[in-house]
């Protein structure tokens, strides 16, 4: 069973991706293409134009690699396994902290130790994951999109 997002939410989400692209994140083009493909919608002009421009740079040999054309190579010194672990656990840590806060449990080192133990991560990472995800949720555009997406499902926390 496929659930289709309302048009207004798809537009809102693509507008947020475009803002990221205009801020210099060329790799977001792939995310936008994937989103349009998953939702079976026509790509907005900015996606088509950006993809065409980057691939044209590669085909015409202005860029040596697709990484260079899309400005999306993996940063030197960054570890993929650590990034995977962070991507998987950050929203979980945030959600756990918000649930604890709602129950009146203090947000302190003991809370992070418990969450870390449950997720098999260290407490310092749990604190960092929470802080970074919290900062992400404070981005008005992202919050607006997530709130709109989650409203019909009455989900309280982002996960």
* DSSP labels, 65-126: SHHHHHT-PPPTT--HHHHHHHHHHHHHHHHHHHHHHHTT---SHHHHHHHHHHHTS-HHHH
Top pLDDT among 127 and 72 is at: 127
Residue 96: per-residue pLDDT: 92
Rounded to two decimals, the pTM is: 0.60
* Both structure tokens of 6: 């309302």
In contact, 46 and 74? CB cutoff 8 Å: no
Least confident of 39-43, 61-65, 144-148: 144-148
* Mean of pLDDT values over 16-22: 91
Q: Does residue 59 contact residue 48 with C-beta atoms inside 8 Å?
A: no
Q: Is residue 9 classed exposed, middle or buried when 0-12, 13-18 and 19+ CB atoms within 10 A define those classes?
A: middle
Average pLDDT score over the chain: 84
- Residue 25 above 90 pLDDT? no
* pLDDT at position 48 over 90: yes
Q: Give the Cα separation of 71 and 92 in Å (integer).
A: 30
Higher per-residue pLDDT: 143 or 6 = 6
pLDDT in tens, 88-145: 898 899 989 999 999 999 999 999 999 999 999 999 999 999 998 888 777 766 656 6
pLDDT at res. 138: 75
Percent of the chain having pLDDT more than 70?
84
Q: What is the rounded distance in angstroms from the CA atom of residue 69 to the CA atom of residue 52?
A: 11
């Amino acid at each position: 069973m496929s659930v289709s997002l309302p048009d207004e939410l798809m537009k809102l989400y693509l507008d947020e991706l475009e803002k990221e692209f205009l801020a210099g994140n060329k790799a977001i083009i792939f995310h936008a293409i994937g989103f349009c493909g998953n939702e079976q919608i026509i790509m907005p002009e900015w996606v088509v134009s950006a993809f065409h421009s980057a691939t044209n740079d590669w085909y015409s040999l202005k860029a040596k690699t697709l990484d260079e054309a899309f400005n999306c190579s993996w940063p030197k010194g960054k570890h993929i396994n650590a990034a995977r672990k962070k991507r998987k656990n950050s929203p979980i840590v945030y959600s756990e902290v918000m649930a604890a806060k709602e129950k009146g449990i203090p947000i302190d080192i003991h809370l992070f130790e418990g969450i870390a133990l449950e997720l098999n991560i260290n407490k310092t990472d749990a604190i960092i994951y929470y802080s970074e995800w919290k900062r992400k949720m404070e981005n008005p555009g992202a919050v607006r999109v997530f709130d709109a997406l989650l409203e019909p499902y009455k989900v309280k926390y982002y996960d």
